[in-house]
Structures are given as structure tokens and as C-alpha cells.
């Protein structure tokens, strides 16, 4: 089931350079293709993708066509990428060793208005599932339809909360009726498109509800009844495949309960009849505006996954394998950023995050090598205590004498050796041999003899991403009217236009009523913004009192979320940010009638927790003026005029087709740093196909559109100075605050612009800026991997591809030299070797230096093997480089630069 071996690297003793192969097929061979057991027979919309097969399960594993399988799943949310990105992302999942693709279904994206469905563009779920099937991968469809997922309102459509008498996720008839209608809609669509396994489709598992066990107790007995109802409703839809409920320890017998966590090796399902499934392996974490960026080390992710399969796990899903982008206003709340990169193995732009992707790919290959032994054990594996914090689990089709060598006994046997000590190495004795185990690691022995992989030993390359200017697609034709310092003339026009946003009421469907209305009840989430305006009459006595005391009155609001801004007579007085926090803002009135305007802003609706329909947004409690000579003035029940959204927003000032009727004027120097201002300019697309990012770190807070597409919210909120470290000590239990970066810097400054949203020239960029920013410092760059490097010891394990020779009998894999592998992004070539040393090099990536022992031929040999190629593999041995220092353990360290291939420098045909 492993990949085919590469061509022999030992074909001629007279040609040592043959040992430095450019391995074309090595990187594209996945650890296991799901289609191997259910052959792909069609790739069109009219025929099946697989020979129809049934899906079942027993206490050990999910059964595909009656056969137990050890499955690896990759989480990919289809709306967080463009359809044009999907094929590449799916292919990278497969190449990385995934058998399954997992996604949530996003109710609010598919039913934006009650009974009105949308399944197009980024929400074309059927197209996404078919693309997965065409790659020969299986599918885990998590219908929910509550998703959480750091997605706006957890995936619920906002119209749902307006149904009379509704309560979400409990034994409530109005909610259950709507939920059943939508779930049935999705199931019927999958059946109609023949996407279930028994129809020749890829869907093998599906989920009802989502982490309901976390909040079920909040609803008492009604929660228990609802959970039972949801399970029976799903089973009644006759899908022919199993249903799962994650984090639901009381799931009914016919429903698989599963684990979501950073570690799930200790998880046990609530019935012996169910396999051990991990639906969310959190290999990263999300970020909030004003917070640092979380990272989970590749070594710890690998450790967690290896432990899961070691202790009886059968299906594990990375949440996320590709995180993507919260385009438009889909980011959840409160305060979640536009990027949903998630530190995933495939980054937000669709590139491989190395070494995480490569290290996990090697792990998956090692696990698949163990699959025959893993599925052969019907009960528990043999357990061997190797030390106080060391243990082995042995899987075999027969009794294993663990104190003896396995050579010649004819058994299928695989073993996992774990050292869960966080600090100390351990030497353990098993199978008649000694094994050295690093702290917090698992060694995998596919043959119960040779170590194929250790979670703490990373053999994958390190990739360093960069945002870098390239050539524009053509010379800029835009004529300057105002030259602003810092504008990148190679892309952006030097002409900028501005339009001032009206503060408060601007027309449209504004209305007046008594009292403070709840934000969502008014906006229905059609905009982040809601204006509240009232009048306050100030007397001479009031002004004299404040003047004599040297004080100002203050506006007080009991609670606000997420952002509140206070204006007096059209001028911004102050702001408050927080989740249901109090506001106290000094205000300066003039004698007579004053206009008091409040702006309530949402930055993502609450996506997690009980009683979501009651959370709402805007202001709560009293709104009053304090510090007046005759006592406080309660404005809570005053007459307020309400205006939903921005004038520029509802007149679509951001749309190319609306520019003729928009009110724009040439930007002046005074317009820089001006709050509540719209900016626009034109720009050219960079050449090539590399992803494009825009730097908005010079701006304050707002939203950005490109050619009418809302790329998302932006906000240059800075993370605290503390909480990050220069390095991460990975051993020990991980939490999202353990390995953080970006302290003291804006949480997000770069924003993804999909290539599909760009044309060669004359692209329209429109920004709405709330707090004041400097558009002259905005830049447009391409995103790619510029620097790649790796360091491999001659004592490292042989390449995992060598194990594929285990088709019959055993092989001596320890006679094969380890390999150092390098790979640029698709469409890029290795153009320069900036460092190469075989011997005793020191330092790490971007900081290598030669040691006392160094083979002088290293640079020339590595350059000959790698330069001009997209990828290369180099044998790490004296046979290649000679022996520069006998008796010394040697490493090969290489650093290289990648550049765009000349074949991909021109724009794509469709652009």
C-alpha cells in the first residue's frame, strides 16, 4: 500500500552523481490512495467515481467494502477558498497521505434567506465533493448544521432567530423543523448527485450536530431529548452510511461518538461496538484581532497522531489541513481575524507549510506501512511496559515474543514505542534490540524491527515564505494626479480618490422609534454597522457648570459589543472595543441642540456556546449622560433614529459597474489619516500564477474590496508585547497559548486576494477606513516560498519509499542511505544553492555555517543535482561526498533559493 520505490540509486559504482537524483515521482506518490480498494471507474458528472461499496464499522475500524481501514482525513472548508483553488488543495491533501477530505456544511451560506438556497461559486458543495471523488479520495460530510468553525454565527442563518418562539439546539419545535428541513435538503442533494458510497460516490461518513455534549447540560432534559431526536432524525434519512456525533458521550448506540481535542489517544467511545475516531485533531488554532498568532510544532502534531494510532485509533481528521480565508464577513466572533490559516500543513495561500506538511506525510506513510498489522488485531494489541514513562504497543496476526528478534518468524507485525517523558531520552530493550527514544516521541517499527519514523526526528525540509514584489503584468498606464510617497508605482496607480462617509442618517430605510433596539433585530446582519442618532438639548447653565468645574459630561452605556463609536455633532468623540463591556466616554456639547450619534459595529457574530440566538449585538442596559448639574439624563427611552449600514456600502461604491454614479474626488494630502473615508485606486496584477497578497498594515480598521469582491475585514490591532518566545519547547501537553508569535505587532497585516478575482490590468481596489489610515503605504506582493533548507544526518532513517519493497518477505532497509529532499513551490525552480556542507555544519535554516569537518565538493555536487529543477533528492553518505573526517558522524545541510520558472512567468490564458 506504500508508494512505489524510486529508481535505484546504486545503479553504477562508477557514477557517484547518480546518487544525487532528481526524483520526479517521489513527492507525488501518496502514502495510500483511497481508490485502490474501490477502483475509480469514472470521472464525469454522469457516472460513478467508484465501484459502489458499502461502509460499515466494527469495534476496531471503519470498514470500506467490508475491509477495515486505518484512515487519515484532511479538513478543508470549501468556502474558505475559491473553486479554482480546490483542485490544487485536494491534490496536496492526497499527496500528503490523506484518504479522506472533511468539511462542515455552512447553513447560512447555503440558505441566506428562508427557503432561498445558494450552491454556487465558493458554496458549490456538489462540485467540491465531486472534485474530491475525482482524486480517488473519500469524504466526511459534517452537516451539523451547526458548525461553530469560527464562522459567523456558527453557521446559523440570522433569519432563524426571528422565527417566533424559536430556541436553537434544544427540544424546540420551530428550530427542529428548520434544522430537519435543511439537513434533509443536503442529504437529498447528495443522493440526487449519487455521491454516497453505495451509489459510487465518495461519502463514507456524515455528522449530525456538533460538539453538542459541551453545552447539552445547559438545556437540562430538553437538551437530552433534542440530542436523541437529532440522532433519530438523521438515521431516518436512510443515507446508507454511518452517522457520527462528536464530543457526545451519550450518543445513541447507532451513532458513532467521536473525539475533538489536541490529543485523543486516551479517548474511548461509549460502546465496545464502535471504533475510535478523532474528528478534530487541532493541529493549530485560530487568531483574534489584537492577539498573537498560535503555532503547533510539527513534532507535537506527529506525536499526538502517532499516539492515537498506537493506542487503537482508526480514523483521524486534521482540523485544519487547509484553513484558508474568511472572505467577506464570514469570520466568526467575537473579533476573529480574516485569515483562517490555522498553522495548517497547507497554508492560507495553498502552499505547503514545511516542515509540518512533510513531517506528517512521512508519519502517514509509516502508519500505512503498519496498516496490515493494525487491522489484523481484533482485540487489544500486546502491551509492553518498557520503563516508568515508556511503553510499546505491538500489533500482529499472532503471538509475538517481544524479547526476541522478529527475523524469520513469518508474522505480520508492527510496533509503536513511546516515550512520554517530557525531558529525558530513554534507551529501551525490545525485540532483542536497544532503541533510543527522544523525549515526548513515538518510534514506528512497521516490521517490529527497524524504525521507519520517529515523531521527534524531522527529515522534511523547512520552507520560508515571503511576500515579494514582482513585475506587474504590464507597464502601468494610469496617469498620476497626486503623487504620494511610498506608493508602489509598479502596481498601483498614483491616482487615489476619496469619498467621505456620512455620519449617522443618510437616507434609505432609516426610521425613528423610542428606545434602544437590539442591533441584529434591525440589521438582520446585512451590514456590520448600525447608526443610532438622537438629540440632546444643552442649556447655558449646563455649559457654565462644566466650565466652572473644569470637567466634561460623559456618555455611559452598560454593555456594548464589539465596537462602539460616539459622535457629537458629527465629530468622533471616542470608541470602545470589547465583548459586552461597559462604555464611559467624555463628550463635549455646545449650548443648544446637539446631535448625539452612536455607531454599533459587529466584528463577527458569536459562533460558540449555548443560547446563541440570545447573544445578539449592539448595546444592552442603560444609555445615559452623567455629570450634568441637575442629575443624569437617561437616554435609553429617548427617540432614536436608526440607519442600517454605510451609504457607500448600500450604494455599492466598491463595485466596478457603479463607479460612474459614485461620488469620488481626487485625494489630497489632508485626506490621509482621515476617519470614515472611502479610498479607491487602480492596480495591475503581478505576472505569473503565484498568490497575491495586499499589505494593509498602514490602515486602521475597515473593509477592503477588489473588483467588487469583499476580501474581508482588516484591522491593524496590535498584539500584546508579552506571551511569545523566540523558540518553542514542544515536549509536553500543547495548548493554544504555548507557542505563539507576532507579539507587539498587528495580528494581521497581509490579506489574500485570489488570482481568480484579478484581471491583467485596471483592477479596482476600494477601502472603507473607519479610524484613519495611510493608503500611500499599501503594497501589493506575490506570496511564495523563497528559501528552502534541510539538514539530515547520515544516521537518519532510510527514505520511507524503500519500505514499499515489502511486497513479499523482508528487506534490509538499514542498508539504504538516508536522503535529503528539497522542493520548491509548483511553478518554481531551485535557482541557487546558498549553502551546502557535508561534515559537521552548525546552525539552522538561514543561519548555517561550515564546521571543522567539511567536504569541499558539497556545493558543486548539490548544485549539479538540484539547480534548475523543481525538486531533488540527495543521498547522505560518504559514497557521494567522500569521507572528509573518518570516525565522525556527519550531516548534510543545504540551503537553496527558489524562483519563478520562466515557463510560468506569463499570465494565465484566462487572464
3-state SS, one letter per residue, for 348-379: CCCCECCCHHHHHHHHHHHHHHHHHHHHHCCC
> If you average pLDDT over residues 166-183, what whole number do you get?
98
Q: Which residue has the higher pLDDT, 550 or 487?
A: 550
Over residues 327-371, the pLDDT tens digits come to 999 999 999 999 999 999 999 999 999 999 999 999 999 999 999
Q: How far is CA 127 from the centre of its chain?
A: 21
Q: Which of 143, 112, 150, 151 is nearest to 125 (CA)?
A: 143
Query: Could you give the percent of the chain with pLDDT greater than 90?
Result: 84
**Cα 211 versus chain centre, distance:** 19
Of the pLDDT bands very low, low, confident and very high (cuts 50, 70, 90), residue 478 is very low
Spatial separation of the C-alpha atoms in residues 738 and 284, rounded to whole Å: 11
Neighbours of 503 (CB within 10 A): 20
Q: Options 2.60.120.260, 3.40.50.300, 3.40.50.1820, 2.20.25.10; which CATH number does 511-645 get?
A: 2.60.120.260
Instruction: Please tell me whether residue 436 adopts helix, strand or coil conformation.
Output: strand
Q: Confidence class of residue 409 from pLDDT cuts 50, 70 and 90?
A: confident
CATH topology for the 784-903 domain: Jelly Rolls (2.60.120)
Q: pTM here?
A: 0.93
Instruction: Assign 669 a pLDDT band (cuts: 50, 70, 90).
Output: confident
Query: Does 55-353 match 784-903 in CATH topology?
Result: no
pLDDT tens, position by position, 722-766 = 999 888 999 999 999 999 999 999 999 999 999 999 999 999 999
Q: What per-residue confidence (pLDDT) applies to 44?
A: 55
* pLDDT of res. 484: 38
Confidence at residue 287, expressed as pLDDT on a 0 to 100 scale = 98
Of 275, 242, 245, the C-alpha closest to 257 is 245
Active site residues: 211, 280
190, three cell numbers: 447528495
Closest CA to 779 of 485, 563, 543: 485
Rounded CA gap, 703 and 688, in Å? Answer: 27
Q: How high does pLDDT run on average in the chain?
A: 91
Q: Residue 269: what pLDDT?
A: 98
**Is the pLDDT higher at 323 or at 674?**
323
The full DSSP string for 718-777 is BPPSSS--SS----S---TTSSEE-TTSBS--EEEE-GGG--SS-EEEEEEESS---GGG
> From residue 829, how far is each of 154, 472, 824 by CA, in Å?
42, 20, 6
The answer on pLDDT for 1 being more than 90 is no
Per-residue pLDDT band at 661 (split at 50, 70, 90): confident
pLDDT of 494: 78
Per-residue pLDDT at 21 exceeds 70: no
CATH of 55-353, one of 3.20.20.80, 3.40.50.2300, 3.40.630.10, 3.40.250.10: 3.20.20.80
Residue 17 scores a pLDDT above 90: no
pLDDT band at 660 (very low <50, low <70, confident <90, very high): confident
Cβ neighbour number for residue 91 with a 10 Å cutoff: 16
| Residue among 533, 541, 667, 649 at smallest CA distance from 596 | 533
Q: CA–CA distance from 843 to each of 343, 650, 821, 837, 898 (Å)?
A: 24, 56, 19, 12, 21
- Residues ≥6 apart with Cβ < 8 Å to 847: none
Q: Is the pLDDT of residue 45 over 70?
A: no
Domain ranges of the chain: 55-353, 376-460, 463-475+490-500+651-783, 511-645, 784-903
Instruction: Tell me whether strands 750-753 and 67-69 are parallel, antiparallel or unpaired.
Output: unpaired
Per-residue confidence band for 324, with pLDDT thresholds at 50, 70 and 90: very high
| CATH fold label, 463-475+490-500+651-783 | Jelly Rolls (2.60.120)
> Residue 477: what pLDDT?
37
pLDDT tens, position by position, 373-402:
999 999 899 999 999 999 999 999 999 999
Among 25-39, 346-360, 385-399, 512-526, the range scoring the smallest mean pLDDT is 25-39
Mean of pLDDT values over 173-194 = 98
Task: Report the C-alpha gap between 657 and 606 in whole angstroms.
Answer: 34
Q: Which residue has the higher pLDDT, 672 or 651?
A: 651
Amino acid at each position: 500500500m506504500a508508494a512505489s520505490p524510486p529508481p535505484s540509486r546504486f545503479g553504477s559504482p562508477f557514477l557517484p552523481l547518480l546518487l544525487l537524483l532528481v526524483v520526479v515521482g517521489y513527492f507525488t506518490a501518496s502514502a495510500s490512495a483511497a481508490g485502490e480498494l474501490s477502483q475509480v471507474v469514472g470521472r464525469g458528472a454522469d457516472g460513478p467515481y467508484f465501484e459502489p461499496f458499502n461502509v460499515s464499522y466494527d469495534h476496531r475500524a471503519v470498514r470500506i467494502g467490508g475491509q477495515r481501514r486505518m484512515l487519515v482525513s484532511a479538513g478543508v472548508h470549501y468556502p474558505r477558498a475559491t473553486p479554482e483553488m480546490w483542485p490544487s488543495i485536494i491534490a496536496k491533501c492526497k499527496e500528503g497521505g490523506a484518504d479522506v477530505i472533511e468539511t462542515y456544511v455552512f447553513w447560512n451560506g447555503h440558505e441566506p434567506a428562508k427557503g432561498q438556497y445558494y450552491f454556487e461559486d465558493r458554496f458549490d458543495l456538489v462540485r467540491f465533493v465531486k472534485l474530491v471523488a475525482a482524486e480517488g479520495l473519500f469524504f466526511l460530510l459534517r452537516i451539523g448544521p451547526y458548525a461553530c468553525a469560527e464562522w459567523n454565527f456558527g453557521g446559523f442563518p440570522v433569519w432563524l432567530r426571528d422565527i417566533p418562539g424559536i430556541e436553537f439546539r434544544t427540544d424546540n419545535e420551530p428550530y427542529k423543523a428548520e434544522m430537519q428541513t435543511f439537513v434533509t435538503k443536503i442529504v437529498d442533494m447528495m443522493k440526487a448527485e449519487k455521491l454516497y458510497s453505495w451509489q459510487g460516490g465518495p461519502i463514507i461518513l456524515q455528522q449530525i450536530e456538533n460538539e453538542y455534549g459541551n453545552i447539552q447540560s445547559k438545556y437540562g432534559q430538553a437538551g437530552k431529548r433534542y440530542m436523541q431526536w437529532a440522532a433519530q432524525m438523521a438515521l431516518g434519512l436512510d443515507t446508507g452510511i454511518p452517522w457520527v456525533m462528536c464530543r457526545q458521550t451519550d450518543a445513541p448506540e447507532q451513532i458513532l461518538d467521536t473525539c475533538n481535542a489536541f490529543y485523543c489517544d486516551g479517548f474511548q467511545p461509549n460502546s465496545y461496538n464502535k471504533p475510535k475516531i478523532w474528528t478534530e485533531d487541532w493541529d493549530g488554532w485560530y487568531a483574534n484581532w489584537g492577539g498573537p498568532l498560535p503555532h503547533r510544532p510539527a513534532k507535537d502534531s506527529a506525536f499526538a497522531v502517532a499516539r492515537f494510532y498506537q493506542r487503537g485509533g482508526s480514523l483521524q481528521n486534521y482540523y485544519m489541513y487547509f484553513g484558508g480565508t474568511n472572505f467577506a464577513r464570514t469570520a466568526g466572533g467575537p473579533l476573529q481575524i480574516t485569515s483562517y490559516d490555522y498553522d495548517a500543513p497547507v497554508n492560507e495561500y495553498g502552499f505547503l507549510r514545511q516542515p509540518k506538511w512533510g513531517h506528517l506525510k512521512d508519519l502517514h506513510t509509516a502508519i500505512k506501512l503498519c496498516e496490515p498489522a493494525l487491522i489484523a488485531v481484533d482485540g487489544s494489541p500486546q502491551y509492553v511496559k518498557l520503563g516508568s514513562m515508556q511503553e510499546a504497543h505491538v500489533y500482529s496476526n499472532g503471538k509475538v515474543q517481544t524479547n526476541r528478534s522478529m527475523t524469520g518468524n513469518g508474522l505480520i507485525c508492527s510496533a509503536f514505542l513511546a516515550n512520554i517523558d517530557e525531558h529525558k531520552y530513554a534507551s529501551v530493550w525490545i525485540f532483542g534490540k536497544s532503541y533510543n527514544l527522544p523525549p515526548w516521541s513515538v518510534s514506528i517499527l512497521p516490521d517490529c524491527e527497524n524504525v521507519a519514523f520517529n515523531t521527534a526526528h524531522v527529515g522534511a525540509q523547512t520552507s520560508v515564505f515571503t511576500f515579494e514584489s514582482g513585475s506587474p503584468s504590464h507597464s502601468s498606464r494610469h496617469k498620476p494626479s497626486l503623487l504620494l510617497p511610498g506608493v508602489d508605482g509598479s502596481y498601483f496607480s498614483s491616482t487615489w480618490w476619496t469619498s467621505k462617509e456620512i455620519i449617522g442618517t443618510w437616507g434609505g430605510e432609516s426610521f425613528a422609534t423610542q428606545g434602544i433596539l437590539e442591533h441584529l433585530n434591525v440589521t438582520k446582519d446585512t451590514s456590520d454597522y448600525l447608526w443610532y442618532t438622537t438629540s440632546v438639548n444643552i442649556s447655558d447653565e449646563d455649559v457654565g457648570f462644566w466650565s466652572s468645574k473644569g470637567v466634561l459630561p460623559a456618555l455611559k452605556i452598560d454593555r456594548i459589543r464589539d465596537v462602539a463609536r460616539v459622535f457629537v455633532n458629527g465629530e468622533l468623540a471616542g470608541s470602545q472595543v470589547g465583548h459586552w463591556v461597559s462604555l464611559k466616554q467624555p463628550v463635549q456639547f455646545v449650548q443648544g441642540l446637539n446631535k448625539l450619534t452612536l455607531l454599533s459595529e459587529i466584528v463577527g457574530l458569536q459562533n460558540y456556546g449555548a443560547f446563541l440566538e440570545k447573544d445578539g449585538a449592539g448595546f444592552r442596559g442603560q444609555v445615559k449622560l452623567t455629570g450634568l448639574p441637575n442629575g443624569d439624563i437617561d437616554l435609553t427611552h429617548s427617540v432614536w433614529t436608526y440607519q442600517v449600514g454605510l451609504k457607500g456600502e448600500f450604494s455599492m461604491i466598491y463595485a466596478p459597474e457603479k463607479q460612474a454614479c459614485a461620488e469620488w474626488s481626487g485625494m489630497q494630502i489632508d485626506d490621509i489619516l482621515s476617519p470614515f473615508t472611502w479610498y479607491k485606486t487602480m492596480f495591475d496584477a503581478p505576472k505569473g500564477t503565484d498568490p497575491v497578497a495586499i499589505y494593509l498594515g498602514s490602515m486602521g480598521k475597515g473593509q477592503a474590496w477588489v473588483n467588487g469582491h469583499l476580501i474581508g475585514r482588516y484591522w491593524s490591532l496590535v498584539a500584546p508585547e508579552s506571551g511569545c518566545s523566540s523558540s518553542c519547547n514542544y515536549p509536553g501537553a500543547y495548548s493554544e497559548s504555548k507557542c505563539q508569535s507576532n507579539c507587539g505587532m498587528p495580528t494581521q497585516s497581509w490579506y489574500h486576494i485570489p488570482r481568480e478575482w484579478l484581471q491583467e490590468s485596471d483592477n479596482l481596489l476600494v477601502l472603507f477606513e473607519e479610524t484613519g489610515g495611510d493608503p500611500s503605504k499599501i503594497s501589493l506582493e506575490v506570496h511564495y516560498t523563497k528559501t528552502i533548507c534541510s539538514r539530515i544526518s547520515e544516521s537518519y532513517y532510510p527514505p520511507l519509499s524503500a519500505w514499499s519493497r515489502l511486497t513479499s518477505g523482508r528487506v534490509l532497509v538499514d542498508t539504504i542511505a538516508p536522503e535529503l529532499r528539497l522542493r520548491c513551490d509548483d511553478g518554481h525552480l531551485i535557482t541557487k544553492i546558498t549553502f551546502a556542507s557535508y561534515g559537521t555544519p552548525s546552525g539552522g535554516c538561514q543561519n548555517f555555517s561550515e564546521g571543522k569537518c567539511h567536504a569541499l565538493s558539497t556545493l558543486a555536487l548539490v548544485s549539479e543535482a538540484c539547480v534548475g529543477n523543481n525538486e531533488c533528492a540527495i543521498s547522505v553518505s560518504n559514497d557521494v561526498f567522500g569521507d572528509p573526517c573518518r570516525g565522525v558522524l556527519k550531516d548534510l545541510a543545504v540551503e537553496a533559493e527558489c524562483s519563478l520558472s520562466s515557463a510560468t512567468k506569463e499570465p494565465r490564458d484566462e487572464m
